[in-house]
Amino acid sequence: MKVTTRKRIIICIVSLLLILLPAVAFGQTDLVKSVPPPISQPIVSEGMLAVSLAASLGVESTDDEIAAESALGDMGIAPANGWIADYPVTPDIIAEVSQSIIAAVDEGQVAINRDEALRRFSATIASLGLTVRPYAGTETGVSKPVSCDNYPNPAMVSTAYTSDGPPVVTYYCPPPDYYDLYAWVPYPFWWSEFWFPGFFILRDFHRHVHVRNHFVIITNHFNDVRRNRVFRIDPGDRFRGRSYAGIGARPSRGFISTGVPRSSHTIFNAPRSIVPVTRGSGVRSGTGGTSGGDFRQGGGMHGGGGGSKR
| Tens of pLDDT, residues 195-242 | 899 999 999 999 998 877 778 899 999 988 888 899 999 999 999 989
Domain ranges of the chain: 46-134
Do the Cβ atoms of 146 and 197 come closer than 8 Å?
Answer: yes
Q: Are 206 and 166 in contact (CB under 8 A)?
A: no
**Rounded CA gap, 122 and 192, in Å?**
12
**205: nearest Cα among 238, 169, 246:** 169
Q: pLDDT value at position 139? A: 61
21-68 pLDDT, tens digit each = 444 444 444 444 568 899 999 999 999 999 999 999 999 999 999 999
At 186 the pLDDT is 94
Which is more confidently placed, 2 or 6? 6
Between the two ends of the chain, the Cα-to-Cα distance in Å is 83
User: Above 60 in pLDDT, residue 264?
Assistant: yes
Torsion-angle region of residue 108: left (phi > 0), alpha (psi -120 to 50) or beta? Answer: left
**Residue 183 buriedness (CB in 10 A; 0-12 / 13-18 / 19+):** middle
Backbone angles phi, psi at 137, to 5 degrees: 105, -15
Examine the pLDDT at 69 and tell me if it is beyond 50: yes
Q: How many residues does the chain have?
A: 310
CB contact at 8 A, 237 and 285: yes
Three-state secondary structure string covering the chain: CHHHHHHHHHHHHHHHHHHHHHHHHHHHHHHHHCCCCCCCCCCCEHHHHHHHHHHHCCCCCCCCHHHHHHHHHHCCCCCCCCECCCCECCHHHHHHHHHHHHHHHHCCCCCCCHHHHHHHHHHHHHHCCCCEEECCCCCCCCCCCCCCCCCCCHHHHHHHHHHHCCCCEECCCCCHHHHHHEEEECCCEEECCEEECCEEEECCCEEEEEECCEEEEEECEEEECCCCEEEECCHHHHHCCCCCCCECCCHHHCCCCCCCCCHHHHCCCCCCCCCCCCCCCEEECCCCCCCCCCECCCCCECCCCCCCCC
What average pLDDT does the structure give for the chain? 79
- Lowest-confidence range among 101-115, 121-135, 151-165? 151-165
